[in-house]
Amino acid sequence: MTEIKRTSLYQSHLAMGARMAPFGGWSMPIAYGSQIGEHHCVRRHAGMFDVSHMTIVDVSGARAQAFLGYTLANDVTKLGAAPAAAPRALYSCMLREDGGVLDDLIAYGLAQNQFRLVVNAATRDKDLAWLTRQASAYAVTVEERDDLAMIAVQGPAAVPEFVRCAFDGAAASSLKPFTAMRLGEWLVARTGYTGVDGLEIMLPAAEAPALWQALATQGVAACGLGARDTLRLEAGLNLYGQDMDESVTPLECGLGWTVAFTFGRNFVGREALERQQAAGPGVSQFGLILRGRGVLRSGCEVVTNAGQGLVTSGSFSPTLGCSIGLARLPQGARGRCEVSIRGHTHSARIVAPPFVRNGKIRVELD
Amino acid sequence: MSEIPSELKYTKDHEWVREADDGSWVVGITDHAQTALGDLVFVELPEVDAELSAGDACAVVESVKAASDVYSPLSGVIAETNAALNDAPELVNSDPYGDGWLFRIRPGSPAELEELLTSEDYERLLVELDD
């Protein structure tokens, strides 16, 4: 039996009264009090998340760029020559030969021949096995950095709050979105999973409690996985394992924009995707809003003008005050649709995500 | 350990019951239940005058996480439901034994009252669940 893992912030979470639950092999905080309250803190000011359960993998070697050029669907040459001072970040899928999504991840160009990948927690074993297998042909080193913790600080005040407590952290204010900087042994990236400004800080695990405590003392709200899910859903961001899995291609789950069909670059899954693109994927990812008294849930059947589909992710949007979801529906689906929830039919409206971006509601509420 | 007022009665499905002045019984869900559910977003209550048997699923509490059925602890007729929960379902989280009450029932079978759990019984049940 695999033992459940604890991050270096485990005791901090208990001390704050967090409700813990197993997630992807880790004991993680779901909420510390009201998860809706935590969600509002992020939208209105700043909240912090322990995301140390994510898998951090460093890839290095003379052919590291070529290796990632082959294994990732997005093009890591977009990370530029990657001078060590201004690393960039890139969101990408990692595919199977048949185009199915193995995982979604963020790739950072740390230096010449040195990259960092942040992949999901639940897919750790699968991803490491896959990367290690592919790596042998390129003679690159694939090293899991389980010595690092990760804290995400998100919200309109996230960057100023971090700058206030991080020694020498002032440069974080001038980070462009999707770029990163080194702060001693820390890597500070202007990235996030909430659709609002913020930072994700990768740091030695032993140093995480002090940063967490410093932020807490300044009044940054501790937020759990419950709020993380409602925030990312409002932002229209996919969750691997729900919105897509190995049986779904990027074209079918709204991630076609992350696939770079660069001339002359062969990557795993390219051929299958090109075939699908030529034939037309048949399904696509849409947003749903349910204004009535019900909550969309993963797996609910959806009947649209263009045929039947499925809710892939559903929850309650604290910002909109009603239920929202992402759904895989036939191409051409639009207008109102009917969703089956717990044996009852509810009327919902098909919209284009995101639902909320940078604090503003981006969809029409009827 | 969650709050378990000693003067109330309980069920194994995490409902509490309190006798009102007029002999009807007020029903709600326990502190343990509201904590497990998380923030409530909708509460569906039975119709007034509905006739129920003990154990009937008669209400639904829906949190951000999931929807859960609430079972009637007693047989009887619904006398009143808590209308405040329509616009403020979060009362169940913030005050599960007070303003978060769900409905009031006029019991049809006094013998059923004997089968309800005492606060000590319920506390023991929670300890067992924890193991």
pLDDT digits (tens, 9 = 90+) for B34-61: 999 999 999 999 999 999 999 999 999 9
Least confident window among A68-82, A141-155, B3-17: A68-82
A29, pLDDT greater than 80: yes
Report how many helices (DSSP H) and strands (DSSP E) chain B contains, helices first.
Answer: 3, 9
Asked whether the beta carbons of residue A35 and residue B41 sit closer than 8 angstroms, the reply is no
Query: Which long-range contacts (C-beta less than 8 Å, at least 24 apart) are formed by B116-123?
Result: B116/B9, B116/B10, B116/B11, B116/B17, B116/B73, B117/B9, B117/B10, B117/B11, B117/B12, B118/B9, B118/B10, B119/B4, B119/B5, B119/B6, B119/B7, B119/B8, B119/B9, B119/B10, B121/B10, B122/B4, B122/B10, B122/B30, B123/B1, B123/B4
User: Rounded to whole angstroms, how far apart are CA atoms A101 and A103?
Assistant: 5
Least confident window among A86-90, A281-285, A286-290, A342-346: A86-90
Domains of chain A, with CATH numbers?
10-54+147-234 (3.30.1360.120), 57-79+88-128 (3.30.70.1400), 250-361 (2.40.30.110)
A82, pLDDT greater than 60: no
A365, pLDDT greater than 90: no
User: Rounded to whole angstroms, how far apart are CA atoms A258 and A269?
Assistant: 13
Predicted confidence (pLDDT) per residue in A234-245, tens digit? 999 999 999 999
Predicted confidence (pLDDT) per residue in A198-213, tens digit? 999 999 999 999 999 9
B35 touches chain A (CB under 8 A): yes
Asked whether the beta carbons of residue B64 and residue A342 sit closer than 8 angstroms, the reply is no
**Closest residue by Cα to residue A188 from A159, A146, A229, A147:** A159
Asked whether the beta carbons of residue A34 and residue B65 sit closer than 8 angstroms, the reply is no
Instruction: Give the per-residue pLDDT at B54.
Output: 95
User: Higher model confidence: residue B130 or residue A48?
Assistant: A48
B66 neighbourhood in chain A, CB within 8 Å: 297
Within A184-249, strands assigned E span 186-189, 198-204, 221-222
A227, pLDDT greater than 70: yes
Residue B119 C-alpha, separation from nearest chain A C-alpha, in angstroms? 24
B90 neighbourhood in chain A, CB within 8 Å: 34, 36
First to last CA, chain B: 13
Residue A267 C-alpha, separation from nearest chain B C-alpha, in angstroms? 38
List Cα–Cα distances, B31 to A33, A104, A178, A210, in angstroms. 13, 39, 43, 33
A315 neighbourhood in chain B, CB within 8 Å: 64
A283 bridge partner residues: A330
Instruction: Give the per-residue pLDDT at B130.
Output: 80
Contacts of A331 (CB under 8 A, 6+ apart): A280, A281, A282, A283, A284, A306
Domain coordinates in residue numbering, chain B = 9-107
What is B9-107's CATH number? 2.40.50.100
Instruction: Give the per-residue pLDDT at A168.
Output: 82
Among chain A residues, the shortest Cα distance to B68 is held by A342
Q: Is the peptide bond before A250 cis (omega within 30 degrees of 0)?
A: no
A85, pLDDT greater than 70: no
User: Rounded to whole angstroms, how far apart are CA atoms A282 and A248?
Assistant: 12
Asked whether the beta carbons of residue A19 and residue B35 sit closer than 8 angstroms, the reply is yes
Residue A256 contacts residue A250 (beta carbons within 8 Å): yes
A31 neighbourhood in chain B, CB within 8 Å: 38
User: Higher model confidence: residue B58 or residue A2?
Assistant: B58
A81, pLDDT greater than 80: no
B131, pLDDT greater than 80: no
**Cα atoms in the 13 Å half-sphere on the side-chain side of B50:** 17
A277, pLDDT greater than 90: yes
Asked whether the beta carbons of residue B39 and residue A315 sit closer than 8 angstroms, the reply is no
Residue A323 contacts residue A294 (beta carbons within 8 Å): yes
Instruction: Give the per-residue pLDDT at A359.
Output: 84
Residue A48 contacts residue A201 (beta carbons within 8 Å): no
Mean pLDDT of chain A: 95
Give, as one character, the DSSP assignment of residue A135.
H
Percent share of chain B, pLDDT over 70: 98
First to last CA, chain A: 50
pTM for the structure as a whole: 0.95
Percent share of chain B, pLDDT over 90: 95
- Phi first, then psi, for residue A143 (nearest 5°) are -125, 120
User: Rounded to whole angstroms, how far apart are CA atoms A103 and A246?
Assistant: 8
List Cα–Cα distances, B48 to B23, B77, B103, B104, in angstroms. 17, 8, 9, 9
Instruction: Give the per-residue pLDDT at A328.
Output: 98
Count the neighbouring beta carbons within 10 Å of the beta carbon of residue A140.
24
Asked whether the beta carbons of residue B38 and residue A31 sit closer than 8 angstroms, the reply is yes
User: Rounded to whole angstroms, how far apart are CA atoms A205 and A95?
Assistant: 30
- Best mutation target among B31, B32, B37, B39 (most A Cβ atoms within 10 Å) is B39
C-alpha radius of gyration, chain B, whole number: 14
Q: For the purposes of burial, counting CB atoms within 10 Å of the CB of B7, is it exposed (0-12), middle (13-18) or buried (19 or more)?
A: exposed
**Cβ-nearest to A316 among B35, B41, B44:** B41
Confidence of residue B112 (pLDDT cuts 50, 70, 90): very high
- Best mutation target among A36, A39, A291 (most B Cβ atoms within 10 Å) is A36
B38 neighbourhood in chain A, CB within 8 Å: 19, 30-31, 35, 226
Residue A33 amino acid letter = G
Predicted confidence (pLDDT) per residue in A308-339, tens digit? 999 999 999 999 999 999 999 999 999 999 99
Tokens standing for residue A69: 């050029």
Asked whether the beta carbons of residue B64 and residue A293 sit closer than 8 angstroms, the reply is no
